[in-house]
Structure 1
Amino acid sequence: MPLRLVRPLRSALSLLALLALASCSTPDSPALTTKAPAPDLIQPESASGWTAKQAQASAHFAVAAAHPLASDAGREILLAGGSALDAAIAVQMVLTLVEPQSSGIGGGAFLLHWDGAKVQAFDGRETAPAAADENLFLKPDGKPMPYLQAVVGGRSVGTPGLLRMLEQAHAQHGKLPWARLFEPAIRLCEQGYALSGRSHKQLLNNTALRQDPQAGAYFFDAQGQALPEGSRLRNPALAAVLRQVAAGGADAFLKGTVAQDIVRRVRGHAGNPGLLSEADLAGYQPRQREVLCTPWRGQQVCGFPPPSSGHLTVMQMLGMMPAQAPAQAFSEGVPSAAWLHRYAEASKLAFADRAQYIADPDFVAAPGGDWRSLLAPEYLQARAALIGPRSMASAAAGQPAAALRVGWAPMPDQPEHGTSHISIIDAAGRAVAMTTSIEAGFGARIMSDGGTGLPGGFMLNNQLTDFALVPRDEQGRPVANRLQPGKRPRSSMAPTLVFDASGRRLSMSLGSPGGPAIIHFVAKTLLATADWQLDVQQALDLPNFGNFGGPVFLEQGRFPAATREDLQARGHRLVETELTSGIQAIQRSPTGWLGGADPRRDGAVRGD
């Protein structure tokens, strides 16, 4: 993949940065543009500012993660002779401490691993409790609970799968002892770390978190105020739990006193108790899925299959987008209105298929018996033919070749929330792309101390609200992604590994947090590096955009008035807002590797 710089585009982007600053104080948006925070549907986390970052070159290995301390931990493990998988475990344990709003041992993850010969997909997604059913989030009158009411409390907590999945992957690809990988996080738990500005912002006005006894005492002062940025946080409870897991493996978390404390807090929640049991925890099993590798632009793009919708939806959109050089696709340094129009329409079509078909493959069959039917070139060509010169009001799901029309109801739109992403390539060329989540900011707003009786702990997920809150439509047709016992909820997470056309030479590892907008953030990075010949940092710096079946979302202050007016003339409704991606990407370069971290978050790249 060429890494030459598109100089006119870079100059235009520099000019655009100045225009963006000016737009903050000049309300020049056209009348039809909604200039307000995006709905919770697509904007799961508040913005935390912009910090310009430089691409980081390294000769042998690279670690890109959502917090500098986590990236440092990964580098420490690689320097000690660990593998990419070893480093990912160390990074994740530190993220549990320093980015508790996004991921941790109380949640789950999707992990892609390249060992130099094959790609594997390790599914550590949470599962629904055995005692739950599709009506879990329906009130007695048959109407769904308000979203936040469903999220906060034990009702939304799924069986955490992260540690069992990492243990399984480590047994195959670990180089260092399991216990060694927990040392950086335990050390930081005991020594303390400085609360980031991003975490502080997530604490502000978080009433539900403040009301949890364990979390309230940890994140807030005696007056109930969020601890200020820079506060030194120590977490003795998490240190104790990690020591148990380091010594006893995932069983120390999924059985015994830690599991008992999780279940006690879930079932004993005062306002919204849940159904998770010790048997659910003890019985959790990760899955190894068949990786989806899709030819595109002379590359093989490998991603995660269902229950993630990420790869399928990304590649559907990209399959409907003809290749265009920057001179054709850009205007004033950003994607042009004509390009954005086609992208938005392709997105509508792809998200319609996503709502209709994609769910846990252990419960829902793929169209035609193969998920690749949604990516068949002739199918995407037929779908792309529906794109006209003006915005379509709405898009319906298609019918892939050889697929029988099934009786699923499309899943209505509902919020999906934040995650974290880790990209690592080690000195032997092994690679990890892992997207990891507890779902909403601070998950279910329940903190467990693992039965230690110590301050701090870890957050529990709210992944069950990724199932359809309304399981059937008015005709009684079931939604594919409805809750069923033991089922994994559909996700938008899109960990991605990119190879040359042969599939044998790795060229990139990437992924992002961001709820359903993950799909657009990953698609933007792939398009920018393949079509527009940008390096990963330049790709991440580009303004964000997306469509989820309705209005076009544009990153606030990043698109000129002429682009917005042109889109509106094509019939699009616009929403300008912060689109807080958190892409972590590593790309092959002529001298080794080039790492990029999203300027919108705290991420950092470390290498050697």
Structure 2
Amino acid sequence: MARLGRHLLPLGLLLVPLAAPGFDYQAPSLSPEPASGLEEKPGWATESFAVVAANPLAADAGNQILAAGGSAVDAAVAVQMVLALVEPQSSGIGGGGFMMHFDGGDITAFDGRETAPAGADETLFLDDQGEPLAFMDAVTSGRSVGVPGIVRMLEKAHDEYGELDWETLFVPAITLAENGFEVSERLHRSLANDDRLAEDSAARAFYYPKDGEPLAVGETLTNPALAAVLGDIAENGSRAFYRGEVAKDLAERVQSQEVPGSLAVEDLKSYEARAREPLCTPWQQWTVCGFPPPSSGHLTVMQILGMMDEEPMAEAPLDAGAPSDDWLHRFLEASRLAFADRNRYVGDPAFVDAPGGDWQSLLAPAYLEQRAGLVVSDQSLGDDVEPGDPGELATSLATPPRQPEYGTSHVSIIDAEGHAVALTASIEQAFGARIMADGGTGLDGGYLLNNELTDFSFIPTVDGKPVANRVQPGKRPRSSMSPTLVFEHDEESEGEYETGALVATLGSPGGAAIIPYVAQTLVALRDWGLDAQQALALPHALTLGGDVVYVEKDRLPEITREALRKRGHTLSERELSSGLGVLVRQPDDTLYGGADPRREGVVKGDEPD
């Protein structure tokens, strides 16, 4: 068993062997990629399997697992554990995620979303006067930390769909954590731009070791504490995280903050990952399958696309390499209507009833036709769009004020058997709650805890009516994560979802902006004749119900922006970091993948013949 340098690992946290039977991991020699601005990427063709992830080291780990005969789920575990090391600002074992899985026949939605502790209630984010806390004060407190779910979710999926031993899947992350990896430009910039992380003493010592300066690009970083914790999980399964010293350390850190949270060891012990029925929606020649509540992603994406299909295709939808003003107007107005419904109706289904008793009521063709009829060609509906009436509710619900949403990382995988994964994982904001835990090891480094509970509405009621997404004990906060699998639509299919052959796996980080990112990408793939990489290179202009935010103004022509202003849209330029990853199965059964040019991601797979 490998040990970390001269340290004696306390508490029995021994590491797995750095070579496993049938798998000889080779740490790649990769220099950090350039800054996370807009970097042209080529797109990648592969023969039979592929993985796209937001960091080259993570993608390489998944590729080596696939090459060793691992399944898509095996590769997802390996990728996510490396991301916890090399992209700690976005996801990790201290957070949660949603994973769509296709095994060649069945589709499963694996839910590893965080939960509110048993000691939390709807006043969690209210001060002594009953007013909501300032958002960043809530984020960087113990109150924001939900019970992490990613480790137990991945174990649950692996128990059913894994091919390689669980321990093997941790070899890449442990090797890199022990031997070190080079700090990327994106990690450096995230550290440099964050003014809260260094307030945590452990994080400050680890990420700002020289007079408070962030780690430099290219600097070699090891993480002994994370290596030890991952070694324990590899050897003993998820119980190593949810029980014992790791759980005790996590709970103590949450409870010892200046503004403490209530998360306790019992909350960790009782956490359950769930396998849910996916939502699969016919969309002309395709069937799009995505995550049900507590994610709002699929419902909102397909509301947008369904309303747009009610209107004739806008002429010249692409103009000078960007969506035209006519198409964008319809897209933005459909987004306003869909987000209004999302904010009123969607929450954890264990606590919130669907309108009319069925979430599909929000996607009913007659309802979407009625909602689309509200869109006019020459004038925006504005910021205060009312939700529709898709079905009766047992309890009348209120719409809360809009709140910020952030974060996440996305992974798409197709293995040699044609099985697929779309995994979106998160700790919410960059660096989550800014609380670093070492698992009780006493070693340098560790992992960051999520702030996912700030995805709940801070305000529990409006005018005496409850908010669907209010805080309640054991509840999962509403999410925008949209891991998506696309299939050919086949009305004669013997399966439950009228799905034919797999077409694509995709998703993105970006908080609530995930929804328009994924929706536009689906349109680009289906209607505009673009390949995966071309689709991801398009500029973004989107709304979450308020202003229209656009990115890369030199790529969204001024004539387009002015045409939108004339229709009554209020525009603002803002830096948004999508991180879309797409794999598409080609007609000859080879694969073609794209990675978002705004992040460091790449596609890895076997070379075409």
| Contact kept in structure 2, 1:584 and 1:596, CA below 8 Å | yes
Match of 2:13 in 1: none
Aligned to 1:549: 545
In 1, the alpha carbon distance for the partners of 2:396 and 2:260 equals 33
Identity level (%) = 57
Q: Partners of 1:406 and 1:505 in 2: how far apart?
A: 41
> Which secondary structure does the structure 1 equivalent of 2:525 belong to?
helix
Q: Assess if the C-alpha contact under 8 Å between 1:261 and 1:448 holds in 2.
A: yes
Match of 2:560 in 1: 563
RMSD between superposed Cα atoms in Å? 1.2
* CA distance in 2 between partners of 1:181 and 1:459 (Å): 21
Residue in structure 1 matching 2:593, options 580, 592, 595: 595
Q: CA deviation at 1:162?
A: 0.7
Give the partner amino acid of 1:345.
E
Mapped to 1, the partners of 2:149 and 2:59 lie a distance apart of 23
- Give the aligned residue type for 1:572: H
Q: Distance in 1 between matches of 2:209 and 2:171?
A: 29
The separation in 1 between residues aligned to 2:543 and 2:195, in whole angstroms, is 31
SS in 2 for 1:379: helix
Q: Which residue of 1 aligns with 2:386?
A: 396
Counterpart for residue 529 of structure 2:
533
Distance in 1 between the 2:500 and 2:285 partners?
13
Mapping 1:167-566, distance limit 5 Å: 167-269=155-257, 271-322=258-309, 328-389=316-377, 390-393=379-382, 394-400=384-390, 402-404=391-393, 406-473=395-462, 475-502=463-490, 503-557=499-553, 558-566=555-563
State the partner residue of 1:576.
573
Closer, same or farther: CA 217–528 of 1 in aligned 2, 3 Å = same
Provide the C-alpha distance between the structure 2 equivalents of 1:214 and 1:506, rounded to a whole number of angstroms.
45
Letter aligned with residue 281 of structure 2: T
Aligned partner letter, 2:415: D
Secondary structure of 1:106's counterpart equals: coil
How far apart, CA to CA, are the structure 2 residues paired with 1:405 and 1:339? 37
- Assess if the C-alpha contact under 8 Å between 1:326 and 1:532 holds in 2: no
Equivalent-residue separation in structure 2 for 1:485 and 1:579 (angstroms): 33
The superposition leaves residues 123-165 of structure 1 with CA deviations (integer Å, 9 ceiling, x where unpaired) of 0000000001010110011111100000002111000011111
Residue 486 to residue 606, structure 1, CA distance change in 2 (3 Å): same
User: Per-residue deviation at 1:577?
Assistant: 2.1
- Tell me, in whole angstroms, the C-alpha distance in 1 between the residues paired with 2:204 and 2:226: 16
Structure 2 contact 371–388 (Cα < 8 Å) conserved: yes
What is the CA-CA distance between 1:326 and the residue it aligns to?
Answer: 8.3
Distance in 1 (alpha carbons) for counterparts of 2:47 and 2:298:
29
Q: After TM superposition, give the deviation of residue 55 of structure 1 in Å.
A: 1.0
Q: Is the 8 A contact 2:314 2:327 kept in 1?
A: no
Contact 1:325 1:532 in 2 (8 A): no
Q: Give, as a single letter, the amino acid of the residue that structure 1 aligns with 2:103.
A: D
Higher relative contact order (CA 8 A, sep 6+): 1
Give the corresponding residue for 1:127: 115
Deviation string, structure 1 residues 449-480 (Cα, Å, up to 9, x no partner): 0000000001100011000011111x121110
State TM-score, norm by structure 2.
0.90
Q: How far 1:333 sits from its partner (Å)?
A: 2.7
Structure 1, gaps ≥5 residues long: 1-46
- Cα distance in structure 2, aligned partners of 1:205 and 1:555: 19
Is 1:64–1:584's contact at 8 Å kept on the other side of the alignment? yes
Question: By how many angstroms is 1:412 displaced?
Answer: 1.4
1:200 and 1:226 in contact (8 A); partners too: yes
Any conservation in 2 of the 1:356–1:397 contact (CA below 8 Å)? yes
Q: CA deviation at 1:205?
A: 4.4
**Structure 1 counterpart of 2:279, one-letter code:** L
Provide the residue aligned with 1:86 in structure 2: 74
Secondary structure at the aligned position of 1:246 is classed as: helix
Q: Distance in 2 between matches of 1:128 and 1:448?
A: 19
Runs of 4+ in 1 over 6 A off after TM superposition: 323-326
The Cα shift of 1:366 comes to 0.6
Question: Partner amino acid for 2:240?
Answer: A
CA–CA separation in structure 2 for the residues paired with 1:338 and 1:576: 20
How many angstroms apart in 2 are the aligned matches of 1:332 and 1:533? 15
Q: CA deviation at 1:273?
A: 1.0
Q: Distance in 2 between matches of 1:161 and 1:423?
A: 19
1:460-515 deviations in whole A, cap 9, x for unaligned? 00011000011111x12111000000000000000000000121300000000000
Letter in 2 for 1:199: L
Q: What is the CA–CA distance in structure 1 between the aligned matches of 2:369 and 2:475, rounded to whole Å? A: 33
- Give the letter for the 2:285 counterpart: G
Shift of 1:405: 7.6
CA deviations on 1:529-574 (whole Å, 9 max, x unpaired) are 0010111100000011111112222213221111111111111111
Contact 1:71 1:606 in 2 (8 A): yes
Which amino acid in structure 2 is aligned with residue 575 of structure 1? S
User: What are structure 2's unaligned runs of at least 5 residues?
Assistant: 1-34, 491-498
SS of the residue aligned with 1:432? strand
Q: Which residue is equivalent to 1:26?
A: none
Q: What amino acid is aligned across from residue 331 of structure 1 in structure 2? A: D
User: What letter corresponds to residue 302 of structure 2 in structure 1?
Assistant: M
1:67 alignment partner in structure 2: 55
Q: In the aligned structure 1, how far is the partner of 2:363 from the partner of 2:121?
A: 32
Q: Residue type of the partner of 1:161?
A: G
